[in-house]
């Protein structure tokens, strides 16, 4: 809804979940930013208890003067709150589908954390419901909205700074002490969709999508040959290797992810006929820059250039996707062109194939 005082779109959020991802998202959207194109208001928070919700608010709003949300101990109250325009789903993977469907039934728009659902079948049910209800919905793959990604696309596909792309290597690794976690942890429990692929491997595959697809998403993305291997322990993949061979353009993406080791800061390398691009940052989900090295550079110029991208103070980068959603909704759009629903379905279909080939089956797959 428009805000006549600021003359920028205002979007009122209902937040589901009080974990790390919700903490980072909310911290970003309430952070003060100069000349922000939209205004975000967190109107409601859904938690398993009012006490837990109050602790979340106390932590996130500790140094913020932004209006505080109403706290509910039932998600349904968030859906029913008339001051909520859109629901952000920051809950464990296995309940994404039901959370989305309940919000849609209440007539709310939805921004759902990745993975959008456990499998493509679940995602299709949610998308069908959103389209029937006429509400906006998007998968929250925040990395896709970083200015760095737009710059990378420009160098690869417009300026062709490294010529024809031949290979991509990308790794996302976290050092998670799985052995010490309880069986009920969302990082360990197959019933909650645990595993490296759905949790972080989706980011490695996202780089392949953006680099090898040359801007083509969803149905227009080229169809690669897929070879994969999963290291399955106690019903989840602790690590995986996925090779995507794009035969027509004679290029290959090698995508890896693991819960057992932390990736180095240089986590991705794109090799082209005229140079390389190395992407760096704290993690593949949150890149902070890239180095461009031209093999046939002008002798008068440096062969290597570094491009760094800093977010406004107090933010991590989640606000980019939130701003995009607010602009879409203000303009009456029901999906986003950077993260279209067909791309969500394509990525889940790819991960379904990888899991099937590797023998990783969740209970949500068994009725298919």
Domain containing 250 equals 147-308+338-365
Q: What is the CATH number of the domain that holds 176?
A: 3.30.360.10
180 shares a domain with 43: no
Does residue 329 belong to any structural domain of this protein? Answer: no
User: Which percentage of the chain shows pLDDT scores above 70?
Assistant: 96
Angle of helix 20-30 relative to helix 319-330, nearest 10 degrees, comes to: 60
pLDDT reading at 163 higher than 60: yes
176 shares a domain with 289: yes
CB atoms within 10 A of CB 232: 17
Give me the pLDDT at residue 299, please: 64
Which of 141, 173, 198 is where one domain is finished?
141
Cβ contact 163:274 at 8 Å: yes
Task: Determine if the pTM surpasses 0.75.
Answer: yes
- Taking residues 149-161, report their average pLDDT: 97
CB atoms within 10 A of CB 218: 16
CA dihedral 150, 155, 158, 159 (to 10 degrees): 150
- Taking residues 98-127, report their average pLDDT: 98
Alpha helix positions (H), 213-302? none
The Cα–Cα gap between 127 and 112 comes to 11
pLDDT reading at 127 higher than 60: yes
Cβ contact 286:317 at 8 Å: yes
Nearest to residue 13, comparing CAs of 64, 53, 92, 69?
A: 69
Confidence of residue 366 (pLDDT cuts 50, 70, 90): confident
Q: Is 219 helix (H, G, I), strand (E, B) or coil?
A: helix
CB atoms within 10 A of CB 344: 27
- Taking residues 291-312, report their average pLDDT: 85
Does residue 325 belong to any structural domain of this protein? Answer: no
Nearest to residue 359, comparing CAs of 141, 136, 197?
A: 197
- Taking residues 79-95, report their average pLDDT: 98
- DSSP characters over 112-128: EESSSSSSHHHHHHHHH
Cβ contact 267:170 at 8 Å: yes
CB atoms within 10 A of CB 261: 12
Does residue 332 belong to any structural domain of this protein? Answer: no
Instruction: Give how many domains the chain has, as a whole number.
Output: 2
Which of 85, 120, 141 is where one domain is finished?
141
Query: Residue 115, preceding bond cis, omega within 30 degrees?
Result: yes
63 shares a domain with 92: yes
Give me the pLDDT at residue 301, please: 65
Give me the pLDDT at residue 297, please: 63
- Taking residues 252-275, report their average pLDDT: 97
26 shares a domain with 153: no
- Taking residues 172-181, report their average pLDDT: 96
203 shares a domain with 134: no
The Cα–Cα gap between 6 and 1 comes to 12
CA dihedral 201, 194, 336, 11 (to 10 degrees): -130
Dump strand ranges (E) for 187-326: 225-233, 236-246, 251-258, 266-272, 275-283, 286-294, 304-308
Q: Are strands 225-233 and 165-173 parallel, antiparallel or unpaired?
A: unpaired
Question: Which distant-in-sequence residues (6+ apart) come within 8 Å of 341 by Cβ?
Answer: 127, 137, 138, 139, 218, 335
Which of 108, 141, 174 is where one domain is finished?
141
């Amino acid at each position: 809804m428009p805000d006549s005082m600021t003359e920028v779109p205002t979007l009122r959020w209902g937040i589901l979940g009080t974990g790390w991802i919700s903490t980072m998202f909310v911290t970003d959207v309430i952070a003060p930013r100069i000349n922000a194109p939209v205004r975000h208001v967190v109107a409601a928070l859904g938690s398993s208890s009012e006490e837990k919700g109050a602790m979340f608010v106390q932590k996130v709003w500790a140094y913020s003067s932004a209006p505080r949300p109403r706290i509910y101990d039932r998600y349904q109250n968030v859906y029913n709150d008339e001051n909520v325009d859109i629901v952000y789903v920051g809950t464990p993977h296995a309940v994404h589908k039901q959370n989305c469907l309940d919000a849609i039934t209440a007539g709310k728009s939805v921004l759902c954390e990745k993975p959008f659902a456990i499998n493509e079948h679940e995602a299709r049910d949610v998308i069908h419901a959103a389209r029937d209800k006429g509400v906006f919905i998007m998968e929250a793959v925040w990395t896709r909205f970083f200015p760095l990604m737009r710059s990378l696309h420009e160098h690869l596909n417009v300026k062709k700074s490294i010529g024809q792309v031949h290979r991509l290597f990308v790794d996302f690794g976290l050092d998670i002490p799985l052995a010490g976690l309880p069986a009920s942890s969302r990082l360990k429990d197959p019933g909650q969709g645990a595993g490296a692929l759905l949790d972080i491997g989706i980011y490695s595959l996202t780089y392949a999508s953006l680099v090898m697809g040359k801007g083509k998403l969803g149905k227009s993305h080229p169809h690669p040959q897929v070879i994969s291997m999963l290291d399955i322990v106690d019903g989840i993949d602790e690590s995986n290797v996925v090779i995507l061979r794009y035969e027509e353009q004679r290029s290959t993406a090698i995508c890896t992810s693991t819960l057992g080791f932390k990736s180095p800061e240089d986590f991705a390398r794109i090799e082209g006929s005229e140079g390389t691009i190395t992407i760096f940052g704290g993690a593949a989900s949150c890149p902070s820059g890239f180095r461009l090295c031209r093999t046939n550079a002008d002798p008068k110029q440096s062969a290597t250039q570094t491009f760094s991208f800093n977010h406004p103070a107090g933010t991590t980068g989640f606000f980019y996707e939130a701003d995009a959603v607010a602009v879409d909704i203000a303009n009456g759009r029901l999906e986003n062109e950077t993260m279209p629903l067909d791309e969500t379905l394509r990525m889940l279909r790819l991960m379904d194939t990888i899991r099937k080939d590797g023998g990783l089956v969740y209970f949500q797959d068994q009725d298919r």
